[in-house]
Amino acid sequence: MKSVMHLCLDGEKAVLHKMIGARLTTILIFALCVYGVMGARLFQLTVMPNLNEPDTEITRGSRAQSDALYYGRSDIVDRNSLLLATTLPATSLYVDAKLVSNPEGVASDLMRIFPSLNRDDLVRKLSSGRRFVWLKRGLTPAQHKAINQLGHHGLGFQKETRRFYPQGALFSHLLGYVGVDGRGLAGVERGLDTVLSRAESPMVLTLDLRVQYAAEKALRQAVERFNAIGGAALVVKVKTGEVLASVSYPDFDPHFPSKGAQKNLFNRYIGGVYEMGSTFKIFSTAAYLEQSNARLSDRFDARKPLKQGRFSIRDYHPQKRVMSVPDVFIHSSNIGTALMAQKVGTETLKTFYDDLGLFNGFSVDGLDIARPLYPKPWRDVNTLTVSYGHGVAVTPYHLMQAFLSVVGDGTQARLKIVPANEKGENAGVRVRLVSDVTNRKVRKLLRLAVAEGTGGNVDIKGYNVGGKTGTADKAVAGGYDREKKISSFLAAFPMNDPEYAVFVMVDEPKGRKDTYGYATGGWVAAPAASDIIRSLISIYSIPPVGEEVERDFLKNIMPMVYTKKKKSVQPASLSMEKNDE
């Protein structure tokens, strides 16, 4: 700068001097402006209170890290967000055997903390010389502390996770369980494994803990009371197909699935196929009523067994008279139902059953439902026997789904255990299976069966409960075992506009003195179903539809019901013991 000034001391150079001064000033001011901006920004970032953290990719990343504690598997909750399955941190104990100087002593100390371990095995592991051997997985905090207090060299802990089911065995069959590596091995844990291991938010199921408990309790009591080998119970919302309760008994501890008896792992409602007996009459009667010329008042001669080739179809408790459709239904006449099926014809009946899904395996939100068994080849006599539930073996899920299709709105129903909105699924157009007229008639028949027939043990005044009993001999190698029965009850209420459907099935019940030796659906399963319905009423505070609605509902159909000349109305409880198939 100075040298420049020397050069232009005098004369006209003073002008140049001024110019240079002006330029320098300009540059300096410009630089100051830049520094000013930087300073202001620094001031803003550091000194000024900055409450709102800017929403940038970086800040979002750091927040997500702290929010979502990654446990590798999402929780499972019921429809009210009550916890059914969760993942908990667990500590596991391993040993670096190279560092253990006194295997015998360490083993003795460990045996005091884990009495269940095998001592020889432990000593072998401790003296193996390997750098990493698991000793015990899934320690409790108390055990963790106790081992730390031992202070042995070479013992180490590894943080792991463990699947925990707060409801214990209650949901064991539905939820299933996971293996040591955290992969689902059964039930929902297996069926929805990919979703569960990916999603961070809890998985919501349609089930209701309270209903599940009520159903389990009623089923367990029925199984124990009749000294049965097991059973299944389902509660479903008719309009949406949402499963509220799904119980198979006996159950198991999902934390230690292999500890109990192997047969306890068997899931009766999706894994077992059973000939359901008379509950199938709901479907064959619907098929008959779908015929264009069929009327409820049509007569069927049930005076003598129906002969078809070398087969002869009999009634369990023959009425020995000509019966109307309602009569056939409430007295559960095999002959009458077989005659209806004969009029429907093999092809139509088979197509109808197929549409109801009774011939195919299917999947309910990842749960695989077993394939049914049906006669192959199908002979004419099969049409007759299948009409009253002999010859086709299905799972309770099949039966329930078909039932919903018939008593719901007459369109094809789909059971679900994951709410539709969770999946973002489009409901779509549902296929119509039975007409509104048939649907209404079947609902009336079901109500009639409870009010006047075999399902009398289930009636709850004012709730318009309808249902059908079923009792079938179990199929064994080479025929049927008359001593081994499947007794069931399939119900819905209120029948004028069904909201809930209940199914109870008891496997091999034995007759009791106070049931006069009977172990039929009406005696075994109907009271349990009644208990479940009463629980539903109190859980959801369901108001009764009233006895007037009940009476009006059956007004048109009552004249078609046969009544004995002298006694006008048969008490339901008396007719039951005689008429259950």
Partner 1 sequence: MRQSSVPSSMIFLCVFAVIAVLTLGGLLLWTGQKVQQYQKQTAKQNKDILAEQERIRILKAEWATLNNPARVERLMNEVAPAPISHSMGEESEGAQ
Which spans of this chain sit near partner 1 (rule: CB under 8 A)?
1-2, 5, 9, 21, 24-25, 28-29, 31-32, 35, 38-39, 42-43, 45-46, 62, 65-67, 69, 71, 82-83, 86-89, 164, 166-168, 170, 209-210, 213, 218, 221, 457, 514-515, 527, 530-531, 534-535, 538, 573
φ/ψ (deg, to 5) at 283: -75, -40
Nearest-5° Cα angle at 470, 468 to 474? 165
Active site residue 312: no
Q: Tokens in use for 357? A: 């899904």
Q: Are 103 and 126 in contact (CB under 8 A)?
A: yes
Q: For partner 1, give the closer residue by CB, 164 or 480.
A: 164
Q: For partner 1, give the closer residue by CB, 16 or 82.
A: 82
Residue 42 CB, nearest distance to partner 1 (Å)?
A: 5
Give the H or E element holding residue 306.
Answer: strand 306-308
* Per-residue exposure over 177-193, b if at least 16 CB sit within 10 Å of its own CB, e if not: bbeeebebebbbbbbbb
Neighbours of 150 (CB within 10 A): 13
**Three-class secondary structure of residue 179 per DSSP:** coil
Q: For partner 1, give the closer residue by CB, 2 or 112.
A: 2
Residue 567 CB, nearest distance to partner 1 (Å)?
A: 17
Q: For partner 1, give the closer residue by CB, 115 or 516.
A: 516
Q: Are 313 and 306 in contact (CB under 8 A)?
A: yes
Q: For partner 1, give the closer residue by CB, 44 or 101.
A: 44
Residue 466 CB, nearest distance to partner 1 (Å)?
A: 18
Which are the contacts of 396, defined by CB distance < 8 A and separation ≥ 6?
232, 234, 268, 269, 270, 272, 274, 503, 505
Residue 412 CB, nearest distance to partner 1 (Å)?
A: 34
- Taking alpha carbons only, the member of 529, 391, 545 closest to residue 449 is 529
Residue 121 CB, nearest distance to partner 1 (Å)?
A: 31
Q: For partner 1, give the closer residue by CB, 220 or 343.
A: 220
432 secondary structure, DSSP code: B
Q: Are 413 and 241 in contact (CB under 8 A)?
A: yes
Amino acid, single-letter form, for residue 385: T
Range list of H helices, 290-345: 325-330, 334-344
Residue 29 CB, nearest distance to partner 1 (Å)?
A: 8
Selecting among 248, 278, 284, 535, the annotated active-site residue is 278
Q: For partner 1, give the closer residue by CB, 32 or 150.
A: 32
Residue 374 CB, nearest distance to partner 1 (Å)?
A: 36
State the first-to-last Cα distance of the chain, in angstroms, to the nearest integer: 119
Q: Are 332 and 404 in contact (CB under 8 A)?
A: no
Q: Tokens in use for 491? A: 């119900």
Catalytic residue positions, numbered: 278
